[in-house]
Amino acid sequence: MSGTSEQVTAGPGEQRLDPAGRPVPDFPVPAPLAAHGPARVIAMCNQKGGVGKTTTTINLGAALAEYGRRVLVVDFDPQGAASVGLGTSPHELDTTIYNLLMERGLDVREVLRSTAVENLDLLPANIDLSAAEVQLVGEVARESVLSRVLRPVMDEYDVVLVDCQPSLGLLTVNALTAAHGVLIPLECEFFALRGVALLVETIEKVRDRLNPRLQVDGILATMFDSRTLHAREVVARVHEAFGDTLLHTVIGRTVKFPDATVAAEPITSYAPNHPGAAAYRQLARELVARGDAA
Ligand SMILES: Nc1ncnc2c1ncn2[C@@H]1O[C@H](COP(=O)(O)OP(=O)(O)OP(=O)(O)O)[C@@H](O)[C@H]1O
Ligand SMILES: [Mg+2]
């Protein structure tokens, strides 16, 4: 696929430009960490479906893990796509994040599992989680249940990535309450910006009422097809509306991502030399350079 050449390659002495026309800084390979934790929690959030939240959670997580970061992926979507994408079969799970949310006395360590990716652990979910939205409504401090669940292991990880479901309901509010930052994947298509205002409003409400430290870490353009003028126009409009909240890194559209999902592997191990893997490694380096990840 040629749609993955998401950045203009520069000749010697020339600046590489991102699709918004900005020079791309050099994002250095992060230095190894001498010690781990406390974790920075990043919620992957967009109430629009199919924009690349799960793909970004898995592949950013794997890229950060490759750089020696200890990463926990929290599957916070009853569809369980992140769990499947990291090699678990959700119907065979005894305990999931659902049990942690609903049962006091169950420790997060009893539910989290390692994955085939070194340094990357998973808190899995399955369809059970769909009941939590309703069941949590009557709980005391119902918005901060995830935050409480994660607390015992915060010092063991450098980054926790929460893969949200496509809604702005109570589960997503829990993710935003537990988070330090929000990463917003946006598909490069015409209606991409629809709904972003509502998302930003929700983030602001959570910041005002529940979690003053919460910030928007960045907007990530996904499924970018460099061959179409249209995709470039979308990126230009996002840049116009959000300025440098738009990350330099852009994820190209390629069938390698669904292929990797079918193989239940991150692209960084499924096709380590593919431009899609390079793009998620660059995203990891960009977030570290911005101070959004360890
Ligand atoms: N850059 C890409 N190029 C091509 N296909 C992609 C890309 N990113 C994701 N996809 C595919 O698009 C579909 C939706 O992606 P993904 O599941 O990551 O989105 P999502 O936002 O998590 O969706 P949902 O809202 O349903 O949870 C998947 O089939 C995925 O493999
Ligand atoms: Mg998803």
What are 247-259's pLDDT values in tens digits? Answer: 999 999 999 999 9
Query: What value does the mean pLDDT of the chain take?
Result: 94
pTM over 0.85: yes
Ligand 1 centroid–CA 192 distance in Å is: 14
Q: Considering the domain 40-290, what is its CATH architecture? A: 3-Layer(aba) Sandwich (3.40)
Which region among 74-83, 150-159, 165-174, 192-201 has the lowest average model confidence (pLDDT)? 192-201
34: CA distance to ligand 2 center in Å?
Answer: 33
pLDDT digits (tens, 9 = 90+) for 54-103: 999 999 999 999 999 999 999 999 999 999 999 998 778 999 999 999 99
Domain locations along the chain: 40-290
Is the shortest distance between the CB of 59 and ligand 1 below 6 Å?
no
Residue with CA at minimum distance from ligand 1 atom 9: 52
**pLDDT at residue 2, rounded to an integer:** 41
In ligand 1, the atom with minimum distance to the C-alpha of 260 is: 31
Residue 261 CA, ligand 1 centroid: distance in Å: 9
Atom index in ligand 1 nearest the CA of residue 253 equals: 3
Could you give the CA distance from residue 65 to residue 61 in angstroms, rounded to a whole number?
6
Residue nearest to atom 3 of ligand 1 (CA): 253
Position 109 pLDDT exceeds 80: yes
Q: Is 53 in the pocket of ligand 1 (CB under 6 A)?
A: yes
Distance CA 55, CA 146 (A): 22
- Measure Cα distances from 234 to 7, 39, 231 in Å: 15, 33, 5
Identify the band that residue 5 occupies on the pLDDT scale cut at 50, 70 and 90. very low
Query: 144 CA to middle of ligand 1, Å?
Result: 28
Among candidate residues 139, 57, 158, 53, the one with its CA nearest the CA of residue 101: 139
8 Å CB contact between 122 and 83: yes
